[in-house]
Structure 1
Amino acid sequence: MNDVMAELAGEHPQVSFVKLEAEAVPEVSEKYEISSAPTFLFLKNSQKIDRLDGAHAPELTKKVQRHASSGSFSPRSGEHPKEDLSLRLKKLTHAAPCMLFMKGTPQEPRCSFSKQMVEILNKHNIQFGSFDIFSDEEVRQGLKTYSNWPTYPQLYVSGELIGGLDIIKDLEASKELDTICPKAPKLEERLKVLTNKASVMLFMKGNKQEAKCGFSRQILEILNSTGIEYETFDILEDEEVRQGLKAYSNWPTYPQLYVKGELVGGLDIVKELKENGELLPILKGEN
């Protein structure tokens, strides 16, 4: 799909194509309800006008062509005015608290300097978003002038340029890197946030629309019968959460039901609570 995106970007110069790593920018993923990768969002004036979930090249091509021909995207004659490019670069450098402009992606760096930068950031458990400068020549050239820095990779924190690989190596050696760049949340902190994401949280195999095991399907049916609102998390999509939550809650199986961040139990306990008439008060937070 990266190749498809690059081809479409060449065919439709009036459209800005931007790629983000979903896990690196959780606030963006949450805002637009990104539940799988790839997901394609179509925006005009910062407002979502369409979306496509999944790797469907023909459908993506069709949507881009339709919106481009209908004028859904802002038209331009010739090149972007400099003000437009500056504004775009400002938004990109602020897209995540820590942004890395590199050749390739963190999963597939396409130069040794970018690879070394990613290794350093990962070693220090630094949470960062990234932008592949090979995917956009305008950004690749424009950022050099914008930041007055001629080479890549470039690392930004809160929209401010920190520097390239040599600077990052110096900061690592002087122990300053850890104080400058935001850390990725530790697993325990992440699990605490996830279990408290909604008043009633169900960790299951699959989601509300499609349970992927019989136990998860049964617990969904019970919860749906109560009329109580709840959120789900698909543990098949995140191995770290799947394994970590077992130790965090001292509960070895799934599904797991939480109310206000506290474990209620699995399917057997939920069944028992329903039979005893205790489930609804617990879900409402009355017990």
Structure 2
Amino acid sequence: MKLVDGAHAPELTKKVQRHSSAAVPMGMGVAAKEDLNERLKKLVNAAPCMLFMKGSPQEPRCGFSRQIVELFKQHSIQYSSFDILSDEEVRQGLKTFFNWPTYPQVYVNGELVGGLDIVKELAESGELENTCPKTITLENRLKSLINKNNVMLFMKGNKEMAKCGFSRQILEMLNSTGVEYDTFDILQDEEVRQGLKTFSNWPTYPQLYVKGELIGGHDIVKVFHQSFYI
């Protein structure tokens, strides 16, 4: 076997290791930090009230998180949550970014309110409901939705893509009249889908509302549409 001249093993190893370690470009660390900060800003603004906790409201994974969930439940606070145990980058980043070292943490409109002790004080003083948004009842939510526009169509799919034949036909009828209307995709919200059936005593979809009043479904709209052109 012929050896390659000039190959000094220890020196060669050092060179390979030195060149195989990718140098981090200047500024990359700063960019990564900025990216994390932007992510944190988006997370704390993901809902009007955001709770960063260990676990989930259904399964809190520490006593403090469990207590704050219970307080929110008692005071009918509407909130979304983020499990900091699922993302170490967020867990550590929030401590530094908002200068609050412990969890849970509560944010309202992107601003830090504080942890369990602060929430307890707000609850005891009666200020919690004024600080955090209250849960909207399903009935009030449905009323708000059907009055979102003068003409509201609750359908399967949306204006761009109907997901059933009746919804497609009712879209065509509305479009032919030139009436301005808005739609709600009941396939995206099971609570609304089931709740509206009871609220308006109309078991099928699509459903058309004008100024908050139920007109009816496909067959009713079809009759109106035909009479419109007679």
Instruction: Tell me what 2:7 maps to.
Output: none
1:45-66 Cα deviation digits (max 9, x unpaired): xxxxxxxxxxxxxxxxxxxxxx
Provide the TM-score with structure 2 as the length reference: 0.68
1:77-121 Cα deviation digits (max 9, x unpaired): 125587776666455434433221122444554444334433432
Q: Which has the higher contact order (CA 8 A, sep 6+)?
A: 2
Report whether the alignment pairs 1:210 with 2:162: yes
Report whether the alignment pairs 1:267 with 2:218: yes
Alignment partner of 1:99: what SS?
A: strand
**Cα pair distance change 1:87/1:254, threshold 3 Å:** closer
Shift of 1:202: 1.0
1:134-179 Cα deviation digits (max 9, x unpaired): 3443432232234443211111223433322243234334433222
Superposition pairs of residues 101-140 of structure 1, within 5 angstroms: 101-106=52-57, 109-140=60-91
For 2:91 and 2:166, the matched residues in 1 are separated by 50
Aligned length: 204
Q: Which amino acid aligns with 2:182?
A: E
**Cα pair distance change 1:238/1:122, threshold 3 Å:** farther
Superposition pairs of residues 220-235 of structure 1, within 5 angstroms: 220-235=171-186
Structure 1: runs of 5+ lacking an equivalent: 1-74, 280-287
Q: Where does structure 1 differ by over 6 angstroms across 4 or more consecutive aligned residues?
A: 81-84
For 1:79 and 1:109, the matched residues in 2 are separated by 34
Report whether the alignment pairs 1:219 with 2:170: yes
For 2:103 and 2:173, the matched residues in 1 are separated by 54
Shift of 1:273: 0.9
Q: Which among 187, 190, 208 is matched to residue 239 of structure 1?
A: 190
**Cα pair distance change 1:86/1:199, threshold 3 Å:** same
**Cα pair distance change 1:86/1:205, threshold 3 Å:** closer
Structure 2: runs of 5+ lacking an equivalent: 1-25
Alignment partner of 2:29: what SS?
A: coil
Q: Please identify the structure whose Cα radius of gyration is greater.
A: 2
For 2:142 and 2:202, the matched residues in 1 are separated by 14
Q: Which amino acid aligns with 1:243?
A: Q
